[in-house]
Amino acid sequence: MKLLFNIAWTHVSARVRQTLVGMAGVAMGVGFTIMMAGLMQGSQIDFLRQLVDTMPHITVDDERRSVPTQPAEQEYAAVQMADIANVGKRPGIKYPESVMSSLRSWIPGDVAPSVGTSAIIDHGGARIGITLTGIDPRREVQVSKLGSQMREGKLDDLSRAPNGIIVGEALAEKLGVKTGNTVLLVGGQGTRLNSTVAGLFRSGLKRVDESQIYSLAGTAQLMMGQSGVVNQLRLRLNDPMSAQKVAAQVEAQTGYRSVSWQEANADLLSTFTVRDFIVLTVMGAMLLTSSFATYNIISTITHEKRQDIAIMKSLGMREYAVRRIFIIESIIIGVVGILFGWILGYLLCYGWSKITIFNPLTGTTVPLQIYYSAMHYVVAGGISLLCCAGAAYFPARKATRVHPVDIIRGAS
Amino acid sequence: MTEVALQAVELVRRIEGVVSHTLVNGIDLAVNRGEFVAITGPSGSGKSSLLYLLGLLDAPSEGEIMICGQPTSKLSETERADVRLTKCGFVFQFHFLLPEFTSLDNVLLPMRAAGRMTEGEMRERGLALLGSLGLGEHANKRPNQLSGGQRQRVAIARALANRPEIIVADEPTGALDTASTEQVFSILRDIADQGQTVIVVTHDPALAARADRRIHIVDGKIAEIIGRGEGGRVCEMAS
């Protein structure tokens, strides 16, 4: 192997300019791939962080995913019942405090009750449909980041203002309301309630900031016309990524529909999958393209070294050993190129992280989010090395298949 | 009794194509150990083709070549490469040294490929070979820093590196001046005198006349053999 490496090294070191071009090609491919991976994953993680911070990780509703099996069906195999309404006589989760106590005993996180309903907010002639969530401010801080998302006022102000509500900043802007203003809430049962804007929040998700209002649980129950009802349990987990698994367990235990944040945003997450696929394809193409420079160099060397190949074969070196020389050459170019590519990739990521962009949706200027991961470096380097080896293999195979006699006769 | 280093039986090399062409046509030949054989003939007579067959660089269409009694016609290309590496040494008309390597590295190449000696032993042998051919001072020079004759002597040293049974030389003096020709031929003569078999293709009748045996090829067949042509016992295969 040392001999093959020596020959390979003499070949690449004798062609400094060509070798540097090849290395530069690999370095560019690896560097830009790392930058792109960091940028894409960074923006995705940032978005998911916002999503996860804004929403409860699991929402347990007072609905069942399907019609519950009837006792007669459980008892008799021949019985099949149809056309059964999937609603309780009275909405709400039964014995919510008991259910929460039970969940708190095993879930890795916390749970808080809430009352969810829809309403219309009426102000200055504008009527906008909204989602009203009644919360307990003391418990809410355990399950959401609402407290830290407050832009005006505090969560506790809900208790101080008459029928206090906290409104999304975008919705407030749309309605032209400010903290302290009074708006009219109209519930589904025709309930009309004058409410005071106790504060404004901004989650960063426009669809939330434009349509979500928080109130005390009692206020929401009043709007529903159902006093004492708790129709949602909101869970926050220590590990948001385990939400799907925990949601399934919660649903199995309580019988109520438990929706993880992943399920609630399944459409969005599926677009991420498509985006990931596109990004991976583009990055693969970049790495493959960068290996073309290596292909060119190895092709040139094998062409120039046809005579040497013939001599090495005539001396008794095996074909695969001669072929390996050119693959080693390619790997030398690849490894050095990858090392420079790693440096370039890091510098690009660092440079991009210093760039700030204005987000017209949120109206804020934020830096580009870059995700630094050793895996990006390993994967980009590994794929690039494989591409380089592959790029060398084919010209090397072709060159080493040449019959030495043909070359020797030609030279003579 | 003399040992047979190389034997060719009913050797045929045919190039198939739209018009097939026979380069070597039924040659029988036995070359003894330590014998210096010169193959002569007009251009296109098939002498180089015969040499490439004898050195296992090319495979015969028919017939058999035995090197130290070992039949080679059924060997795979890899096995043939192994036999070439250990049993045959090649010298070509042009030196065919690797240009990026020094003289010593070129001589070390077959030894490194065989991998039978330590690096120290290889260097010692390489330097000894170069010294014996008057190239001790040029061990660290590259081919482009050497004269034609010096390059060819480095090529001979390379051919001798793995102590092969047979040295095969294809017009080794064809590109040399008179003085270098004489020098190279004397070296090959000495190699044969020391017990290694030397087969040389040459156009030069004066040089051929100094061989133990001269085989004249015409149209792929042996037209004439001049010199001793004794048979003998087969030499032992060295592993």
Give the C-alpha separation, A142 to A165, whole Å: 19
Task: Calculate how close chain B gets to A292, using CA atoms only, in Å.
Answer: 26
The pLDDT assigned to A245 comes to 93
The pLDDT assigned to A68 comes to 67
3-42 in chain A: CB under 8 A from chain B: 3, 6-7, 10-11, 14
The pLDDT assigned to A78 comes to 82
**Chain B touched by A407 (CB under 8 Å):** no
pTM value is 0.70
Give the C-alpha separation, A271 to A265, whole Å: 10
The pLDDT assigned to A7 comes to 85
The pLDDT assigned to A132 comes to 92
Say what percent of chain A tops pLDDT 90.
26
Compute the residue count for chain A: 412
152-171 in chain B: CB under 8 A from chain A: 158, 170-171
**Chain A touched by B128 (CB under 8 Å):** no
Q: Do residue B100 and residue A14 have CB atoms under 8 angstroms apart?
A: yes
Task: Calculate how close chain A gets to B1, using CA atoms only, in Å.
Answer: 31
The pLDDT assigned to B39 comes to 92
CA dihedral B83→B84→B88→B94, nearest 10 degrees, is 180
The pLDDT assigned to B236 comes to 42
Q: Mean pLDDT throughout A3-24?
A: 85
For B205-228, write each residue's pLDDT tens digit.
888 888 889 999 999 888 888 875
Where chain B has pLDDT below 50, the residues are 229-239
For A218-256, write each residue's pLDDT tens digit.
999 888 888 888 888 999 998 888 999 999 999 988 888
Q: Do residue A319 and residue B96 have CB atoms under 8 angstroms apart?
A: no
Task: Calculate how close chain B gets to A407, using CA atoms only, in Å.
Answer: 11
For A273-304, write each residue's pLDDT tens digit.
888 888 888 888 888 888 787 788 888 888 88
Q: Do residue B171 and residue A412 have CB atoms under 8 angstroms apart?
A: yes
**Residue from B98, B101, B123 to probe the interface with A (highest A Cβ count within 10 Å):** B98
Cβ density class B185-199: b for 16+ within 10 Å, e for less: bebbbebbeeebbbb
**Chain A touched by B123 (CB under 8 Å):** no
The pLDDT assigned to B234 comes to 43
Nearest CA in chain B to A310: B96
Helix, strand, coil percentages (3-state) for chain B, rounded to 5, are 35, 30, 35
Q: Which DSSP string corresponds to A364-401?
A: EEEEPP----HHHHHHHHHHHHHHHHHHHHHHHHHHHT
Cβ density class A61-94: b for 16+ within 10 Å, e for less: bbeeeeeeeeeeeeeeeeeeeeeeeeeeeebbbe
- Identify the burial level of B181 via C-beta atoms within 10 angstroms of its C-beta, where 0-12 means exposed, 13-18 middle and 19 or more buried: buried
pLDDT confidence tier of residue A362, bands split at 50, 70 and 90 = low
**Chain A touched by B52 (CB under 8 Å):** yes
The pLDDT assigned to A90 comes to 56
Lowest mean pLDDT among A14-23, A190-199, B40-49, B220-229: B220-229
The pLDDT assigned to B235 comes to 42
Q: Do residue B105 and residue A411 have CB atoms under 8 angstroms apart?
A: no
Q: Do residue B93 and residue A412 have CB atoms under 8 angstroms apart?
A: yes
The pLDDT assigned to A27 comes to 92
Number of Cβ within 10 Å of residue A13's Cβ equals: 11
Give the C-alpha separation, B175 to B52, whole Å: 19
Q: Do residue B96 and residue A411 have CB atoms under 8 angstroms apart?
A: yes
Do residues B145 and B135 lie in contact, with contact meaning Cβ atoms separated by under 8 Å?
A: no
Task: Calculate how close chain B gets to A276, using CA atoms only, in Å.
Answer: 47
**E-assigned strand segments in A65-181:** 109-123, 126-135, 150-152, 164-168
Option in A312, A319, A405 nearest B77 (CB): A319
A74 Cβ contact list (under 8 Å, min separation 6): none
The pLDDT assigned to A275 comes to 84
Give the C-alpha separation, A228 to B47, whole Å: 110
* Centroid of chain to Cα B120: 27
The pLDDT assigned to A346 comes to 95
- Identify the burial level of A59 via C-beta atoms within 10 angstroms of its C-beta, where 0-12 means exposed, 13-18 middle and 19 or more buried: buried
Give the β-pairing of A126-135 and A109-123: antiparallel
Give the C-alpha separation, A61 to A232, whole Å: 5
The answer to whether ipTM exceeds 0.85 is: no
Do residues B72 and B56 lie in contact, with contact meaning Cβ atoms separated by under 8 Å?
A: yes
In the Cβ-directed half-sphere of B8, how many Cα atoms lie within 13 Å?
A: 24
Q: Do residue B96 and residue A312 have CB atoms under 8 angstroms apart?
A: no
For A67-86, write each residue's pLDDT tens digit.
667 778 778 888 877 776 66
Q: Mean pLDDT throughout A124-130?
A: 87
- Identify the burial level of A218 via C-beta atoms within 10 angstroms of its C-beta, where 0-12 means exposed, 13-18 middle and 19 or more buried: middle
Option in B48, B84, B112 nearest A314 (CB): B84
